[in-house]
Amino acid sequence: MSNYGTLESRVRRKSLLSKVMKAEETVQFFKPGMNLGWSGFTPAGYPKAVPMALADHVEKNKLQGKMKFNLFIGASVGAETEDRWAALDMIDRRWPYQTGKNIAKGINEGRIRMGDKHLSLFAQDLGYGFYTENGRIDLAIIEVSAISEDCGLALTSACGVVPELMMVADRIIIEVNTGQPSFEGMHDIVMAQNPPNRQPFLISRADDRIGTPYVPCDPDKIIAIVESKHRDNGRAFSDMDETSEAIAGHILNFFSDEVKAGRLPENLLPLQSGVGSIANAVVGGLAKGPFYNLSVFTEVLQDTMLDLIDSGKLNAASSCSLSLSKDSGFPRFFDNWDKYADKIVLRPLSISNAPEPIRRLGVIAMNTPVEFDIYAHANSTLVGGTRMINGLGGSGDFLRNGYLKIMHSPSTRPSKNDPTGITCVVPKAPHIDHTEHDLDVLVTEQGLADLRGLAPKERAQVIIDKCAHPDYKPILQDYLDRAKKECLAKGIGHEPQLFDRCFKMQHNLAVNGTMKIKNWDIKIDLCE
């Protein structure tokens, strides 16, 4: 792998070079039960050499289940670190968002205690000391590009919760990544004060800088400097398909109509797009769309954001993370550094997801749920209401505070037993992360439901008409008609639900492998 400078050139505070050691030598600093904080946000900017060396130590010495730690990280990180730790039974607690088959399995089997949280709240609450008995983190592991003469940390491809970790960590291990170009100068860091001394984030444009390029660090807390050459194990994305292209098309048409109506300027407003293949496709659609001089204020920048820059339509992008793909996104970014880097500002999670600038800028929020119901309650986290996937992430930060709050999803998802698949539009969501009060627009490949100004029963009809798959539309319509008739007759019909039947489709899926039911009668078997 190419070298992008030496460790000595990256560590400009020369007294720290006396603390240089190999990753394997840091194992001595870890004790079971410790509270650990990592840098990183999605598979970007996270420590790799030290966590991998510790996993090797546990595996070699058969210490599975005997060396377990509590992990506090801004979001998910690479599978070669935390998911491997989960496979080795090295994780006791995990806050607030994760990705990986092994860690999800551990959570759902009850071996890993996970706490879910709005990401902006997690960042500030970590700084407040809410997550441990003494309010402290025993040890933080931080990946950096460089260390300045005054011990300022120049981070790499993500900011995460590093400022908060500097506030609460007792000791720090620094990984200096020389296996990729230095990101020095790309970050805008503010060390937020705790109340009552907290100050506003005076951001009025996506590219406004309000801080410094470095995270200040107490050099006396640093116990080791480790050189790393591991690149981010970025996420992979599916190619755009007919479904994602149709969803993107509906959203672009909606934007055009909003411009014509005078509710959006011609260059729209700053855009936020969540993680995942559909979100990636929507941004790709914008790269081909009619809008210019765009800006982005978001938490992750994915591969098609580079397409948007290439198109000449994006002026500036603010994010917490460069969440690019490993094999195409990151190499493309590094090979065209001068083209992309000056368009991007990377901010800590506490700023990228802060409600104040999101609302001030008028951010257009776009995120993908697991499912939503006919009254516009959305589930982003728990399949069937009980099985954790990844976590809430930052979607709620933007959907509660944005100018336009949009959720996009396929109308159905594939299943083993039903050729149509599982409906993503249901009578009642079995778990609710985003309420009807927070969502303006729901979109599937079938169409777009503009819910602004509609009462609950009106919303339900529009969602069924516009968003439901044709195979499920009559089933949902039958439910709504029955619910209205029974609830209105009793004088309880503002938002009609039949609680003895509203989860019948999910129950039928669990029992018979399909969400298609013959009728809503509760006196017969689910399927005949």
Per-residue pLDDT tens for 58-102?
Answer: 999 999 999 999 999 999 999 999 999 999 999 999 999 999 999
Given this chain, do its domains 7-228 and 242-479 carry the same CATH topology? yes
Per-residue pLDDT tens for 197-238?
Answer: 999 999 999 999 999 999 999 999 999 999 999 999 987 666
Checking DSSP bridges between strand 314-319 and strand 344-346, what pairing results, if any? parallel
Active site residue 227: no
Q: Is residue 524 predicted with pLDDT exceeding 70?
A: no
The pLDDT of residue 528 is 47
With left for phi above 0 and alpha for psi between -120 and 50, is residue 424 left, alpha or beta? alpha
How far is 432 from 5, CA to CA, in rounded Å?
48
How far is 7 from 225, CA to CA, in rounded Å?
10
- 7-228 CATH fold: Glutaconate Coenzyme A-transferase (3.40.1080)
The pLDDT of residue 284 is 81
Domain positions in the chain? 7-228, 242-479
Question: Length of the chain, please?
Answer: 528
- What is the pLDDT of the chain when averaged over all its residues? 95
State the DSSP H helix or E strand holding residue 176, giving kind and residue range, or none if neither.
Answer: strand 169-177
The pLDDT of residue 288 is 86
How far is 325 from 304, CA to CA, in rounded Å?
10
Work out the angle at residue 481's Cα, subtended by the Cα atoms of residues 479 and 487, and round it to the nearest 5 degrees: 95
Give the confidence band of 287 by pLDDT, cuts at 50, 70, 90. confident
Asked if the bond preceding 96 is cis, omega within 30° of 0, the reply is yes
How far is 55 from 80, CA to CA, in rounded Å?
10
Per annotation, catalytic residue among 143, 184, 299, 371: 299
Give the confidence band of 1 by pLDDT, cuts at 50, 70, 90. very low
State mean pLDDT over 130-142. 97
Nearest to 357 by CA among 273, 270, 265, 258: 270
CATH number, span 242-479: 3.40.1080.10
Nearest to 96 by CA among 299, 298, 366: 299
Per-residue pLDDT tens for 335-349?
Answer: 999 999 999 999 999
Flag whether the pTM goes above 0.85. yes
Per-residue pLDDT tens for 375-423?
Answer: 999 999 999 999 999 999 999 999 999 999 999 999 999 999 999 999 9
How far is 56 from 25, CA to CA, in rounded Å?
12
Per-residue pLDDT tens for 429-471?
Answer: 999 999 999 999 999 999 999 999 999 999 999 999 999 999 9
DSSP single-letter state for residue 20: B
Checking DSSP bridges between strand 152-155 and strand 382-383, what pairing results, if any? unpaired
Contact status, residue 343 vs residue 314, Cβ threshold 8 Å: yes
Q: Order of strands, edge to edge, in the sheet holding 344-346?
A: 344-346, 314-319, 294-297, 271-273, 364-367, 404-408, 441-444, 447-450
Share of the chain above pLDDT 70, in %: 98
Per-residue pLDDT tens for 95-115?
Answer: 999 999 999 999 999 999 999
Alpha-carbon dihedral sign for residues 39, 42, 44, 50? positive
The pLDDT of residue 278 is 79
